[in-house]
């Protein structure tokens, strides 16, 4: 295992330290470094807060800034932040209008965010939106429901934009719950991921295999298939997504091709080119696009495709100004 790190124990803290120093115009550490928060909070605005395990960078800390998140907590690698960290973020970011917690659907994350919310319920108004865009987990049918993966970025952007425009906590919660069934993702891996502490890959693939339906924590997917051409792989992902999302003819959508950590931009654009053809052939209008490495699984070579059906109002929120380390436009 060759990674740019000093020790497995210090990797996350050094990476986050580097991030905060590189992007000091947007972010600062919260008290006791329990969270990363916006350098300039907006009094009276609902605070949008997220977090999760490390190993998914730039998510979530790269989304902290104007028009997206007010604070984010980073756990150990692939491990939820603690309730104490989440409470720290709530106390830092709540300027009086309450907090919306955006949580990926994993047992540990949901439990810790709920616990934190209960512990400060007397002092803070809190609502939660659970993101569960990964179609694969529902098919596995283990009863835990869908995982939250790259679609989390879309939820955080649109809710962050709405909060910036002054939307109330109740309306944000309702907007978030309306988004959830309209966002679907699926991933494919060409390699497993190497976890720094164990120095082992979570699963191994030969030079002629790929893993369909992977999550972002090094979990294997639902099936191993022979590696094939980009069109074949991407068609598989797009057909699975299209079969799992209720779209009207000429529905408007955001198409997001996300690199899982070790996939270069040139390959992501080949996949985007294929995905766009398949999705448009299915009668969906691609109104917005995002291609890049935003929601990773350490150094995994792989990608995910996310389709988000968005209303005109939601598209306008997507377009509104955002100024974070990883997403930036309009300001």
The two tokens of residue 218 are: 């090094």
Catalytic residue flag (residue 60): no
Residue-wise burial string across 225-258, b where 16 or more C-beta atoms lie within 10 A, e elsewhere: eeeeeeeebbbbbbebbbebbebeeebbbbbbbb
CB of 98 to a second copy, least distance (A): 31
- The active-site residue out of 23, 56, 60, 124 is 56
Q: How far is CA 53 from CA 14, 204, 314, in A?
A: 15, 22, 28
Nearer to a second copy, 51 or 55 (CB): 55
Nearer to a second copy, 121 or 229 (CB): 229
Q: How far apart are CA 156 and CA 161, in angstroms?
A: 8
CB of 217 to a second copy, least distance (A): 14
Catalytic residue flag (residue 197): no
Residues in a beta bridge with 185: 134, 306
Q: How far apart are CA 130 and CA 103, in angstroms?
A: 5
CB of 280 to a second copy, least distance (A): 10
CB of 18 to a second copy, least distance (A): 3
Of 258, 240, 244, which is closest to residue 309 (Cα–Cα)?
A: 244
Nearer to a second copy, 90 or 188 (CB): 188
Nearer to a second copy, 145 or 220 (CB): 220
Q: How far apart are CA 74 and CA 191, in angstroms?
A: 25
Nearer to a second copy, 111 or 269 (CB): 269
The two tokens of residue 128 are: 């939660």
Q: Give the footprint of a second copy on this chain (CB under 8 A).
A: 1-7, 11-12, 14-19, 21-23, 54-55, 57-58, 62, 190-191, 207, 210, 227, 229-231, 233-234, 261-274, 276, 289-291, 293, 296, 298-299, 301, 303, 323, 328-331
Of 174, 168, 105, which is closest to residue 137 (Cα–Cα)?
A: 105
CB of 307 to a second copy, least distance (A): 14
- The active-site residue out of 40, 60, 217, 222 is 217
H helix runs in 124-258, sequence order: 135-140, 151-164, 169-179, 230-242
CB-CB neighbours of 143 under 10 Å = 6
Q: How far apart are CA 292 and CA 154, in angstroms?
A: 13
Q: How far apart are CA 224 and CA 205, in angstroms?
A: 9
Nearer to a second copy, 130 or 150 (CB): 150
CB of 278 to a second copy, least distance (A): 13
The residues that are catalytic are 56, 217
């Amino acid at each position: 295992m060759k990674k740019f790190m000093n020790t497995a124990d210090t990797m996350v803290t050094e990476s986050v330290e580097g991030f905060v120093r590189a992007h000091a115009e947007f972010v600062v550490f919260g008290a006791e470094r329990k969270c990363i928060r916006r350098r300039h909070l907006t009094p009276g605005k609902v605070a949008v807060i997220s977090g999760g395990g490390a190993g998914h960078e730039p998510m979530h800390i790269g989304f902290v800034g104007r028009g997206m998140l007010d604070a984010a907590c980073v756990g150990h690698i692939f491990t939820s932040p603690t309730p104490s960290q989440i409470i720290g973020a709530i106390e830092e970011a709540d300027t009086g209008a309450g907090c919306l917690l955006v949580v990926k659907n994993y047992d540990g994350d949901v439990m810790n965010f709920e616990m934190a919310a209960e512990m400060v319920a007397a002092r803070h108004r809190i609502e939660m939106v659970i993101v569960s865009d990964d179609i694969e987990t529902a098919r596995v049918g283990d009863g835990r429901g869908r995982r939250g993966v790259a679609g989390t970025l879309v939820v955080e952007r649109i809710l962050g934009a709405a909060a910036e425009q002054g939307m109330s906590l109740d309306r944000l919660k309702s907007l978030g719950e309306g988004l959830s069934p309209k966002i679907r993702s699926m991933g494919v891996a060409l390699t497993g991921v190497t976890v720094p502490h164990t120095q082992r890959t979570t699963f191994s693939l030969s030079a002629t295999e790929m893993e369909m339906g992977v999550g972002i924590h090094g979990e294997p997917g639902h099936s191993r298939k022979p590696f094939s051409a980009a069109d074949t792989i991407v068609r598989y992902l797009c057909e699975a997504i299209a079969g799992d999302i209720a779209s009207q003819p000429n529905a408007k959508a955001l198409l997001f091709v996300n690199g899982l950590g070790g996939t270069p931009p040139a390959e992501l654009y080949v996949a985007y080119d294929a995905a766009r053809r398949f999705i448009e052939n299915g009668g969906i209008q691609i109104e917005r696009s995002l291609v890049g490495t935003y929601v990773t699984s350490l150094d995994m070579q792989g990608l995910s495709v996310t389709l988000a059906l968005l209303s005109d109002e939601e598209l306008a929120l997507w377009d509104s100004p955002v100024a974070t380390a990883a997403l930036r436009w309009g300001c």
